[in-house]
Chain A
Amino acid sequence: MPTAIVTQSNGRLVHVRLVSEDTTDTTMPEEAMLETTVLEDGVTGGEATPAQLKSAAGEAQVTVKAAPNPIAPTPKEALWSAGSFLVLFVILRYFLFPKLKKGMDARYADIRSDIEGADTVKADAQSAVADYEKALAAIRVEASGRIDAARQTVDTERNAQLAQVNARIAAARAEADQQTAAARAAAQGQVAAAVAQVATKAAQLASGRAPDAAVVQAAVTAAMESAGSR
């Protein structure tokens, strides 16, 4: 004998299904070929009472089953979700998360260590650069001192040599002046003698007697000095 499974929600007919007695699946929804027949036999508008359905189904056994509340929690779903969650939690908490975190921490420690090492190397390099610059500055100072000293030495030597050369030039010039003066004096003597001779001759020719040589000589000397001073 078939069984009519009627599903109701708030007194309203939701679903009617005829099943044979050995069928155990009572879950919904599923189309039933006999649904229309049953509904057309006096059941209208989706509203039916079990009595109406029973009469509509004839000799069929009528089972009225309330529709599941769509927002009510079902135990099997709660159990499966709880089981799944707890299994995942145990796997993550005790096996996978510690391994992953340990790896992350080790890598971060390595990175931190590398950064610290790089900082140390950078500090060392900066210290070396500072030392180098300090040494460079000292060398520059020393070089500058040496250059100044050399320059001083060169200046001293140059001045000394210049003084020597100047002295030599002065000596040569003095000697040349002396020679010039001597030559001039000799030339003046010769000129004076020649002039005195000429003057004596001229005076002798003019007066018929020879003038005093000393007077002529004095006159010539005075004349030459006078000419030399002009």
Chain B
Amino acid sequence: MIALEFPEINSILVWKDIFPNFPFNKVALIAVLATLISATIFLLAVRQSHKEAPKGIRNFAEMIVEFVEDGIVMQTMGKDGLAWTPFLLTMFMFIYLCNVPGIIPFFQMPATARMAVPMFLALMVWVIYNVTGIKHQGVGGYLKSTLFPPGVPKALYILVTPIEFISAIIVRPFSLAVRLFANMMAGHILLVTFALLSEALFQAKDKVLIPVGILPFLMLVFLTSFEVLVAFLQAYIFAMLTAVYIGGATHPEH
């Protein structure tokens, strides 16, 4: 029998500061790198001539912009929402680049597996869609369109209005943050679990157990590939829901 010594949960989620007396840990480093990488991609892209057919980094940057425009903005907000493209592009790039380090050697930690990152993003989205709604419809109009959805029998407003209030004002930011955080943390813990299990089996004193280690190792490889998809999908979902909420606040009739 082997005894798998699983590390204390904080040792795989809570990171020490990189520099003494300076509050800057691995999660902060990933967030800063996400900004630097995104800015570098677009900086290199704009330095190439736009007159020729795009290639290399410019092609990549334009592909991301078109993905956000066509796949997120146009699908949820229509042409009126194109002004939100830079914000949604920033959000998609930032979340994706905070997710991906979960499978990059030496980092092996998605920044979004720490509640601070999704919480900040969700709160920001909450503020933005509420402010946008009030700006477009006025306080009364926004509250009316949010809390009193049209087409519902008046008697049902007794039930619907509190539900809509809880849903739009409280649950939305909470679900937005928790969805991203929980998915990324669960993926991170799964990767750690199978990595530790593989290591334990490969280094088992009982030689019979060593070949068995291939099973968790294969699972580790599969989960790593799966996390590539999850990193993209979670960034897409977060940006998509942000666009839906802002679009709903801007055009409640839709």
The interface residues of chain B lying within 8 Å CB-to-CB of A110 are 51
- Taking chain A's interface residues, is the majority helix, strand, or loop, or is none over half, making it mixed? helix
A97 and B227 CA atoms in complex are apart in Å by: 29
A30 and B16 CA atoms in complex are apart in Å by: 10
The interface residues of chain A lying within 8 Å CB-to-CB of B27 are 77, 80-81
The interface residues of chain B lying within 8 Å CB-to-CB of A14 are 8, 10
Establish whether residues B90 and A92, one from each chain, have CB atoms under 8 Å apart when the complex forms: yes
Establish whether residues A92 and B39, one from each chain, have CB atoms under 8 Å apart when the complex forms: yes
Contact with B along A76-110 (1 / 0, CB 8 A): 11101111110111011100110111111011001
**Which of A20-28, A118-126, A137-145, A185-193 contacts its partner?**
A20-28
Task: Let me know if A67 is at the binding interface, CB within 8 A.
Answer: yes
Task: Let me know if A71 is at the binding interface, CB within 8 A.
Answer: yes
Interface centre among B86, B124, B185 (most CB of A within 10 A): B86
The interface residues of chain A lying within 8 Å CB-to-CB of B89 are 92, 97
Task: Let me know if A72 is at the binding interface, CB within 8 A.
Answer: yes
- What residue in chain A is nearest B34 (Cβ atoms)? A84
A104 in contact with B65 given A78-B120, A93-B86, A97-B86 (CB within 8 Å): yes
Task: Let me know if B192 is at the binding interface, CB within 8 A.
Answer: no
The interface residues of chain B lying within 8 Å CB-to-CB of A83 are 31
B128 to chain A, nearest CB (A): 11
A108 and B35 CA atoms in complex are apart in Å by: 28
B98 to chain A, nearest CB (A): 8
Task: Let me know if A211 is at the binding interface, CB within 8 A.
Answer: no
Known: A78-B119, A88-B93, A96-B42. 12 other contacts (CB 8 A): A29-B7, A70-B13, A76-B28, A77-B25, A77-B111, A80-B27, A80-B28, A82-B120, A84-B35, A85-B90, A92-B89, A101-B85
The interface residues of chain A lying within 8 Å CB-to-CB of B236 are none
Chain A interface residue count, Cβ-Cβ cutoff 8 angstroms: 42
The interface residues of chain A lying within 8 Å CB-to-CB of B163 are none
Task: Compute the total of residue contacts between A and B using a CB distance below 8 Å.
Answer: 141
A73 in contact with B116 given A85-B90, A100-B61 (CB within 8 Å): yes
- Taking chain B's interface residues, is the majority helix, strand, or loop, or is none over half, making it mixed? helix
- What residue in chain B is nearest A110 (Cβ atoms)? B51
- What residue in chain B is nearest A76 (Cβ atoms)? B23
The interface residues of chain A lying within 8 Å CB-to-CB of B91 are 85
Establish whether residues B23 and A106, one from each chain, have CB atoms under 8 Å apart when the complex forms: no
Identify the A interface with B (CB < 8 A): 14-15, 24-25, 27-30, 67-68, 70-78, 80-85, 87-89, 91-93, 96-97, 99-104, 106-107, 110
The interface residues of chain A lying within 8 Å CB-to-CB of B185 are 71
Contact with A along B79-90 (1 / 0, CB 8 A): 000000111011
Chain B interface residue count, Cβ-Cβ cutoff 8 angstroms: 53
A88 and B111 CA atoms in complex are apart in Å by: 16
Task: Let me know if B166 is at the binding interface, CB within 8 A.
Answer: no
Identify the B interface with A (CB < 8 A): 7-11, 13-14, 16-17, 20-21, 23-25, 27-28, 31-32, 34-35, 38-39, 42-43, 45-46, 50-51, 54, 58, 61-62, 65, 85-87, 89-91, 93-94, 98, 111, 114-117, 119-121, 124, 181, 185
Establish whether residues A24 and B31, one from each chain, have CB atoms under 8 Å apart when the complex forms: no
Establish whether residues A85 and B121, one from each chain, have CB atoms under 8 Å apart when the complex forms: yes
A70 and B182 CA atoms in complex are apart in Å by: 12
- What residue in chain A is nearest B37 (Cβ atoms)? A88
B82 to chain A, nearest CB (A): 10
Establish whether residues B8 and A100, one from each chain, have CB atoms under 8 Å apart when the complex forms: no
Establish whether residues B120 and A85, one from each chain, have CB atoms under 8 Å apart when the complex forms: yes
Establish whether residues B117 and A103, one from each chain, have CB atoms under 8 Å apart when the complex forms: no
Checking A24, A93, A100 against B65 with a beta-carbon cut-off of 8 angstroms, the contacting residue is A100
Establish whether residues A71 and B90, one from each chain, have CB atoms under 8 Å apart when the complex forms: no
A100 and B64 CA atoms in complex are apart in Å by: 11
- What residue in chain A is nearest B14 (Cβ atoms)? A68
Establish whether residues B119 and A73, one from each chain, have CB atoms under 8 Å apart when the complex forms: yes
Checking A15, A75, A78, A85 against B35 with a beta-carbon cut-off of 8 angstroms, the contacting residue is A85
Establish whether residues A70 and B10, one from each chain, have CB atoms under 8 Å apart when the complex forms: yes
Establish whether residues A29 and B8, one from each chain, have CB atoms under 8 Å apart when the complex forms: yes
The interface residues of chain B lying within 8 Å CB-to-CB of A107 are 50-51, 54
The interface residues of chain B lying within 8 Å CB-to-CB of A89 are 86-87, 90
Can you list 21 A-B pairs with a CB-CB distance of less than 8 A? A25-B16, A25-B20, A27-B17, A29-B11, A67-B10, A70-B14, A76-B23, A77-B27, A77-B116, A78-B120, A81-B27, A84-B35, A85-B120, A88-B35, A89-B87, A89-B90, A92-B93, A96-B45, A96-B46, A100-B58, A103-B46
